[in-house]
Amino acid sequence: MPKVRLAMAQTNPEVGDISANLEACFAAVSAAAANNANLVLFGEMCVTGYPIEDLATRRSFVRSAETAIDDFAVRLDQAGLGNLHVVLGHPALAPNGTGDHWAIAQNCASVVFQGQVIGRYAKHHLPNYSVFDEYRVFVPGDQLLTFEVNGVVCSVLICEDIWQSGGPVAQLTSAKPQLTLVLNGSPFEMGKQQTRTQLVSNLATEYNTAVAYVNLVGGQDDLVFDGASLLVNRSGNTVQRLPAFETGVGYADLNTDGTIEAVTAPGAESSPAVTADLLESVWQALVLGLRDYVNKNGFKSVVLGLSGGIDSAVCASLAVDALGPSRVFGVSLPSVYSSDHSKSDAFDLANRLGLHIRTEAIANLVQVAESQLNLTGLAAENVQARMRGVILMALSNAEGHLTLTTGNKTELAVGYSTIYGDAVGGYAPIKDVAKTMVWELARWRNHQAQMLGLTPPIPENSIEKPPSAELRPDQVDQDSLPEYHLLDRMLELYIDERLARQEIIDAGFDAETVDRVIALVDNAEWKRRQGAIGPKITGMAFGRDRRMPITNKYRQK
């Protein structure tokens, strides 16, 4: 018999739905008990969902979470599960009143045992960069929590605490836990699973402790939590990893000799590798983000314009992977400038995916607007995009679909879109995907289908043809923009790496193009500010990850 059988449970909580979230926790604890576990670890804020943003500043909300934890402890005990130690994440009111400003709560982990909360840890390092605002809404804690299970010393930390030095993590030296329990709400970014593995491994060897790292699963607004929880022994080797992008429970035994080993429980693979393929992990993140946004917000279906181009084709394919074809409604919205292939490629896509498709020509609407207002040039081009927006939103209103907007990150960066036109929609599935990666994803998805002997979902023609907005005769994107592979690299240097103009030029781009691209990015801030949210997959997504003033005269020299 092991001294401790640990269950690591990665759940997919919904922000604010405390009772449903705790129902999932109860199911996991029950399963853990059935599998003879005596310690269960959940992810950060598994009780309330994460991040709760300014809900943390509402006293009534925080009290609800506290009460729910107390009730949950009693419920477990009454159900005969009181002898498991269960570690859950939730907000709680700060014991010594408020923090600096608005913060009244702490980001906590409670240890529940025999009908009571027997210990509570408050996160010390509060991330306040990138998409995080935790210093805004939480009061930091400063004491490591240590408790024993069957004589095994366990310490508790939360997420950012192990990414920074100092604070409670340093107290591991004196606490000397055999097992360190880390609750996480770590959103997906490309390559981050590898980074986390290295971080957890380093923690294990530095403090000579096994480390259980449990991450949340699921989409929450612009974030996707990718699970992939892991268990590392005190030598820093991964002994267990839970699947990415799926809920699940994994088991491991801490033996009397101090060794730790994974238990292969029904339905839990013992140690899947880190998602090998970058594109596969991105696709999965985008699918999960989209599915959870739709389902958690109560939409039965989505609607999107299908132009025959690559962006809408990839969005439609993601939507079908996320929701199934019966919940996806495509609309071909041809104008007088639309090519034949724009229509045939859209229908080809719809046939491959099995989604609903209809045609709503915009010619009549555009003609009335153009003649009433005497529109020409850009104003006339934008009216086409806006009439498409009017139609999509009318179908959304009439039939209850969530409208998806299909703009990619490159387009958002340089403002190559029509606000209130193609930008209408509540969710932007590829908002953080650069144009060049949109093509890569399309090829990857087609290839994956071929490997499985299935029809590639995305028409070759949508991948291969030159991209065009088709708002005037013979228009192609490259009339207005640099080649996409160059543009995307410049954008990465300017936005993600925050390089100065001269540094970008030094990287091999001509000054005039660099100036033009920087100006396009800076001038499009107001449009981005009114854009739909979409899933973050890079280190610097537009939205709360990058907070730039709209009114901004800074032009780099």
Least distance to a copy of itself from the beta carbon of 26, Å?
18
Quote the strand ranges of 335-494, DSSP E. Answer: 356-359, 402-403
The piece of 56-64, 150-158, 180-188, 441-449 that touches a copy of itself (CB under 8 A) is: 56-64
End-to-end alpha-carbon separation of the chain, Å? 69
Three-class DSSP category at 217: strand
Least distance to a copy of itself from the beta carbon of 395, Å?
7
262 in Cβ contact with 370 (< 8 Å)? no
User: Which of 355, 532, 537, 541 is the binder for a copy of itself (CB under 8 A)?
Assistant: 532
59 near a copy of itself, rule: CB under 8 A: yes
Least distance to a copy of itself from the beta carbon of 259, Å?
37
Task: Return the ∠ at Cα 279 (arms to 245 and 327), rounded to 5°.
Answer: 60
If one counts every other C-beta atom within 10 angstroms of the C-beta of residue 398, the result is 8
DSSP classification of residue 493:
I
14 near a copy of itself, rule: CB under 8 A: yes
Measured from the CB atom, the residue of 218 and 457 that comes closer to a copy of itself is 218
Q: Pattern 223-262, binding to a copy of itself, x per CB under 8 A?
A: ----------------------------------------
157 near a copy of itself, rule: CB under 8 A: no
519 near a copy of itself, rule: CB under 8 A: no
How far is residue 487 from each of residues 265, 282, 408, measured CA to CA in Å? Answer: 48, 21, 13
The residue type found at 179 is L
Instruction: Give dist(CA 28, CA 90) in Å, integer.
Output: 17
Q: Pattern 473-502, binding to a copy of itself, x per CB under 8 A?
A: -------------------------xxxxx
Q: Which is the catalytic residue, given 123, 343, 431, 536?
A: 123
Measured from the CB atom, the residue of 104 and 239 that comes closer to a copy of itself is 104
The piece of 140-148, 218-226, 260-268, 442-450 that touches a copy of itself (CB under 8 A) is: 218-226
Instruction: Give dist(CA 239, CA 501) in Å, integer.
Output: 46
Instruction: Give dist(CA 475, CA 496) in Å, integer.
Output: 30
- The torsion angles phi and psi of 137, rounded to 5 degrees, stand at -115, -5
426 near a copy of itself, rule: CB under 8 A: yes
Least distance to a copy of itself from the beta carbon of 153, Å?
29
For residues 178-217, which are near a copy of itself according to CB under 8 A? Answer: none
Least distance to a copy of itself from the beta carbon of 378, Å?
6
- Tokens matching residue 281: 């992990």
Please say if 108 is a catalytic residue: no
**Closest CA relative to residue 406, chosen from 429, 378, 380:** 429
How far is residue 304 from each of residues 211, 524, 532, measured CA to CA in Å? Answer: 44, 23, 14
128 near a copy of itself, rule: CB under 8 A: yes
Please say if 44 is a catalytic residue: yes
507 near a copy of itself, rule: CB under 8 A: no
| Stretch (H or E) spanning 410 | helix 409-414
Least distance to a copy of itself from the beta carbon of 164, Å?
7
The piece of 169-177, 272-280, 319-327, 390-398 that touches a copy of itself (CB under 8 A) is: 390-398
Please say if 159 is a catalytic residue: yes
Q: Which is the catalytic residue, given 44, 411, 470, 492?
A: 44
For residues 349-378, which are near a copy of itself according to CB under 8 A? Answer: 360, 364-365, 368-369, 372-373, 375-378
Query: What is the phi-psi region of residue 468: left when phi exceeds 0, alpha when psi lies from -120 to 50, beta otherwise?
Result: beta
Least distance to a copy of itself from the beta carbon of 265, Å?
30
174 near a copy of itself, rule: CB under 8 A: no
Least distance to a copy of itself from the beta carbon of 412, Å?
13
515 near a copy of itself, rule: CB under 8 A: no
User: Which of 420, 444, 461, 472 is the binder for a copy of itself (CB under 8 A)?
Assistant: 420
Instruction: Give dist(CA 302, CA 322) in Å, integer.
Output: 11
Q: Which residues contact 202 (CB under 8 A, 6 or more apart)?
A: 236
For residues 290-319, which are near a copy of itself according to CB under 8 A? Answer: 292-293, 296-297
Quote the strand ranges of 25-80, DSSP E. Answer: 39-41
Pairing label, strands 223-226, 152-158 = unpaired
Task: Name 304's bridge partners.
Answer: 330
> What are the catalytic residues?
44, 123, 159
